[in-house]
Amino acid sequence: MELRAIKCFYTDRDGLVELEDDVLSIVRQVRDLYGDRIKITWEPTTQHYVLIENSEDGNERLIFTTPELDGRVLDRLIASDSRVRGYKDAYDEAERDQDRAQAAEDAASMEKVRDAGEQLHWVLNSGSRIFIPRGVDG
């Protein structure tokens, strides 16, 4: 059963009772922030409130469930919203860091062999013979 801010209800004792807002305004605040993209429902079998996202591709996705509908729900919802907090994927960030470290290591290695590589290139292109020692001692 989807929850909406109750505007009025009827009781035998009081008759028609009109309300200005829901308790703690949680449903209204979620509607103000997210419109119809997020809906709050009550699950009678578990007796939990269920927050569901109506995604752009038409699927419904579970955000989380909670036994109480209070201010913590709104805080948790906002904290979990990647659009609000400038989402950065930790895996992608680690990959970028590793790519930068690898590029720096490659550049350092290229600098070490640059002179020897240029000499080798010149010798190979000149048609001369090259002498390769059998060992380090010559």
Hey, what amino acid is at 99? Answer: D
Q: Phi and psi (nearest 5°) for 95?
A: -65, -45
Containing 101, the helix (H) or strand (E) segment is: helix 90-126
Distance CA 124, CA 11 (A): 99
15 bridge partner residues: 11
Instruction: Return the pLDDT at 104.
Output: 94
In tens digits, the chain (138 residues) has pLDDT values of: 555 555 555 667 766 555 455 667 888 888 888 888 888 887 878 888 888 898 888 899 999 999 988 889 888 888 887 666 566 677 888 899 999 999 999 999 988 888 888 888 887 788 767 677 777 665
How far apart are the C-alpha atoms of 112 and 93, rounded to whole Å?
A: 29
pLDDT value at residue 9: 57
Taking the CA atoms of residue 76, residue 78, residue 79 and residue 82 in that order, the dihedral angle to the nearest 10 degrees is 140
Task: Specify the pTM.
Answer: 0.49
- In the prediction, which pLDDT does 18 show? 52
